[in-house]
Amino acid sequence: MTQPPLERAVRPSEQVTKPWGHEEIFALVEGSYVGKLLFVSAGESLSLQYHHAKDETIALVSGQVEIDLGDSADTLRAVSLSPGDSVHVVPGMLHRLRAIEDSVLVEASTAAPGWREDVVRLEDRYGRLGTTAP
């Protein structure tokens, strides 16, 4: 296996401002995987959403969150996560995360072509319904 040149191996993280806090993309191999840190402020929540192709695992590092999971809006179930807990979100699964207190999560997900646009928002308190806006 060929190693990348040092100047391509070390890179700064990309910070993306979100209405619920921010995320830092610390690893990205287009077409393969992406690693993110999610910083979610207390009382804020992500959209009720699903992905067509993106497969993700989210682990709580610190704080306290609840995540709604289900195959449809009728089957959503809230699950509390404690630091060290993780959840696997497969394509098509509805999910929404709520921060009970300031929380940090790590997300590892697939990064197939178009991964940044692979989000369908069904409910969003910040007016981003059906969009791929950050």
Q: Which domains does the chain have, with CATH numbers?
A: 12-123 (2.60.120.10)
More confident residue, 42 or 9: 42
DSSP 6: H
CA pair distance 104, 38, nearest whole angstrom: 6
What average pLDDT does the structure give for the chain?
A: 93
In the predicted model, is pLDDT for residue 29 greater than 90?
yes
Region 101-105: what's the mean pLDDT?
99
CB 21 within 8 A of CB 40: yes
Region 92-113: what's the mean pLDDT?
98
Q: What is the DSSP string of 28-91?
A: EETTTEEEEEEEE-TT-BPPEEE-SS--EEEEEEEEEEEEEEESSGGG-EEEEE-TT-EEEE-T
Instruction: Pick from 10-19, 36-45, 114-123 the range whose average pLDDT is largest.
Output: 36-45
Q: What is the CA radius of gyration of the chain?
A: 15
Burial of 67 per CB tally in 10 Å (0-12, 13-18, 19+): buried
Q: Which residues contact 62 (CB under 8 A, 6 or more apart)?
A: 83, 103, 104
pLDDT in tens, 48-80: 999 999 999 999 999 999 999 999 999 999 999
pTM of the entire predicted model: 0.89
